[in-house]
Structure 1
Amino acid sequence: MKPTRTSKAWMREHVNDPFVKKAKLEGYRSRASYKLMEIDDRDKLLMPGMTVVDLGATPGGWSQVAKERLKGKGRIIAIDILPMDPLVGVDFLQGDFNDPVIRQKLMDSLPQPKVDLVLSDLAPNISGVALYDQARATELWVAALEFAVQSVKPNGQFLVKVFHGIDFEDFVRLMRAVFVTLQTRKPAASRDRSTEVYLLGKTLRENAQSALDRYLGAE
């Protein structure tokens, strides 16, 4: 297939991106590594001894950062629908996170007690139809949040990539209903033209599950 003008422009931007160049120089699998680094430098998410789940992990940039900052003490469980090259110290499950069978398999692989941190860089394949793409993205945010509510400790944390759009404010309200503290982050490695931001929820509210159930029941 002949490259389109848009794809050529994206490739030029990608090749010239300073974070892409930095990732290649420093041995990271993705420019997204620097997004997590910046957020962690500010919010101190990752500490040795933690159990971390990385949703939408491929190619593994966030898992790399988590591995480095856990310093060999703790556990990282990663999942993606796409394959990921092995990363020592990271347990990888390939499968569709939205598949109930795969989701249960992931839950069954978690250690007890529950995990400390869930990271979600999940994003749908873009069709170009804005409303459809937004709906698919929202479905993933809610699925990731549902998983976090079920899997993190009461004082656990959840970091999720979201996009501004028609469902954004509703999802922010849901996050506020689920977590005691909610913060918004836009790291430098997130391109200016991108509508993506990261929401960081800390400490589950006592009624977190009921708040989520009410939202799901209203959909």
Structure 2
Amino acid sequence: MRRAAKVAIGVGVAVVVGGAAAVAWGPGLYADWANRAAAEAPALEATGAPVPEETAGLDGVWVVADGSFAGYRVHEVLRGEDVTVTGRTEEVTGSVTIADGTLTDAEVVVDIESVRTDEPPRDAYFRGTVMEVGTYPTATFVLTEPAPLEPGQTAVELTGDLTIRDVTREVTVDAEVATTDDGAHVVGSVPLTFADYGVEAPALAFVRVDGEGSIEFSLRLEREG
């Protein structure tokens, strides 16, 4: 997850490349195209159900399954036009442990090199200059406080350590959880201040990236084994 934060920065800086497109198309047209390309925020699937009254049925170890993704969302101002940029990867691994209806352990690892946006040059800048994926190939979130699952609810607050490029910060994640026909689904976002991870948001002649963004995730969970 942490890498996702840096991704946000890379996205912004590499808009320098996108600036050429903005000049060619006109900033308004480019902003419209970029905003349409931005992914929707993660949401629980419509058929998901809240935490059951008998939470004991959820106890055990759950692993991140196919269909999961993580990434980032950042706001830019490009030649006076507001632009939202998102990056995504499905290269996400990890596990969650539930005991007595409480989420007691969790670790999620994201492969940063595989995060992609709609602009390959932006991605190359992010992987090389910003994230240095050859040295820091992954980002990690580790739960540090138990998180009770409330029967009949979907909301859950997760407190843990987010590590991006070897910098670890405690974060609070506003998440939602639901049971599904084949397991469980967890979605959420983590607000980020880039300077906290040693990243300076780009501010150039024609593009300015906000100093804050967010990491987003959608995790499909299935029972281990």
TM-score under structure 2 normalisation? 0.27
Instruction: Give the number of the structure whose alpha-carbon radius of gyration is greater.
Output: 2
Higher relative contact order (Cα pairs below 8 Å, separated by 6+ residues)? 2
